[in-house]
A and B are shown apart, each in its own frame.
Chain A
Amino acid sequence: TAGITQAPTSQILAAGRSMTLRCTQDMRHNAMYWYRQDLGLGLRLIHYSNTAGTTGKGEVPDGYSVSRANTDDFPLTLASAVPSQTSVYFCASRRTENTEAFFGQGTRLTVV
């Protein structure tokens, strides 16, 4: 089934450790995004990428980094996790502006 795959689905991480959340899409969408969702409410943009080789900062980029080596993959790395990064992380992609955003199933991350 075409779409976006995130891994892992959940993770418990010790504070200070690093971790990479994986995101892969097979729709050949140019734009990809990482969001975090706290308390089951709004999504906040962490980083985005308009096309392979380019990335940009969103609303809450501190403590996170991304790369976009090719069209399909957009990993999110936490270099040194802190408890405030406990959240549900969603990866999304869009073909162009004004088109639908498609989401992965999310990664539930708990930093202890």
Chain B
Amino acid sequence: TQLLEQSPQFLSIQEGENLTVYCNSSSVFSSLQWYRQEPGEGPVLLVTVVTGGEVKKLKRLTFQFGDARKDSSLHITAAQPGDTGLYLCAGPLTGNQFYFGTGTSLTVIP
């Protein structure tokens, strides 16, 4: 079992729909990050959240860090085919260990 569990694992939606991806842990994180990965590439950072309860918006993407700093969510409004990809949450634990979540594979159908 990985430290950061994401749900759902797979998501296929129509263009224009909204969606939410969840990232949960039993551990407390000082910060959480969200990455997006394209096939054949390494993950690329989308956002970092550092304060419990923090909400950050990046165009149509809204990120929230849970009050207890054990969970986070990513909400996409009016999804577009260009949003297709693998979404990963990640966070540091003691000793600078940096863990990634189980991943959510998103497909947006035109």
Q: Which residues of A line the B interface, CB within 8 A? A: 31, 33, 35, 40-45, 48, 50, 56, 58-59, 90, 92, 94, 97-98, 100-106
Contacts and interface: CB of A to CB of B under 8 A. Distances in A.
B21 interface: no
Nearest to A45: B99
Contacts, number: 79
B97 interface: yes
Contacts of B48: 98, 100
B105 interface: yes
A56 to B, nearest CB: 6
Interface residues of B, number: 32
B31 A98 contact: yes
A36 B86 CA distance: 15
Nearest to A44: B2
15 contacts: A35-B100, A41-B102, A42-B4, A42-B6, A42-B101, A43-B100, A50-B95, A50-B96, A97-B31, A98-B48, A98-B92, A103-B42, A103-B44, A106-B41, A106-B42
